[in-house]
Chain A
Amino acid sequence: MTERHSWRRMLEARPVRNAAADTVREPSGDLGIAVKRKRPRWHVPPLSWVVSLKPTRTVRLDRVGSQVWGLCDGERTVEAIVDAFAAEHRLSFHEARVAVTGYLSQLVQRGALAISIPSRNVSS
Chain B
Amino acid sequence: MQLWVWRHIRVELPEDWEMLQFSRNPQAGRCAWADRYRFRAELSWQALSGPPDLARLASDYLAKLRLDGTMPDAAPVQSGDWRGPRGHEDGLLTSRLSRHLAEEGCLVELVLLWPDGLDPQREGSILASIRSESPWPHGLRRWRAFGLDALASGGLDLVECKAEPALAQLAFRDARATREETFQRLGMVPEWLDGSVRDWLVRQVPRDLRAEKGTFTFSPPWGAKGYCAEKENVPFSAREERAEASGHQVETVEGLRRGGLLRRPVHHAAAAWLCPSDGRLYCVGISGPDGADSKGLAGTRLSCCEGMTRRD
Contact = CB atoms under 8 A, between A and B. Distances in A.
Interface of A: 1-8, 11, 63-64, 79, 89-96, 98-99
What DSSP secondary structure best describes chain A's contact surface? helix
Contacts of B115: 6
7 contacts: A2-B89, A7-B37, A8-B38, A64-B191, A90-B279, A95-B164, A98-B164
B262 to A, nearest CB: 42
Interface residues of B, number: 28
A1 B36 contact: no
Given A3-B91, A11-B36, A98 B42 contact: no
A86 to B, nearest CB: 10
A94 B92 CA distance: 23
- The 3 A-B pairs with the shortest beta carbon distances in the complex, nearest first, are A2-B90, A6-B38, A99-B165
Interface string B28-39: 000010101111
A98 B91 contact: no
B29 to A, nearest CB: 15
B97 interface: no
A85 to B, nearest CB: 10
B166 A91 contact: yes
B278 interface: yes
A94 B147 CA distance: 13
A79 B36 CA distance: 9
Given A64-B191, A89-B187, A94-B34, A5 B39 contact: yes
Interface in B91-138: 91-92, 94, 111, 113, 115
B139 to A, nearest CB: 31
B18 A93 contact: yes
Interface in B145-199: 147, 164-166, 187-188, 191
Which residue among B115, B164, B187 has the maximum number of chain A CB atoms within 10 Å of its CB?
B187
Contacts of A3: 90-92
Given A6-B37, A7-B38, A98 B191 contact: no
A95 B191 CA distance: 15
Contacts of A6: 37-38, 115
A91 B165 CA distance: 8
B42 A89 contact: no
Contact of A95 (B90, B94, B166): B166
Which residue among B38, B94, B279 has the maximum number of chain A CB atoms within 10 Å of its CB?
B38
Contacts of B191: 63-64, 89
B57 interface: no
Nearest to B279: A90
Nearest to A4: B90
B98 to A, nearest CB: 16
A63 B303 CA distance: 31
A121 B111 CA distance: 29
B165 A1 contact: no
Contact of A11 (B20, B34, B37): B37
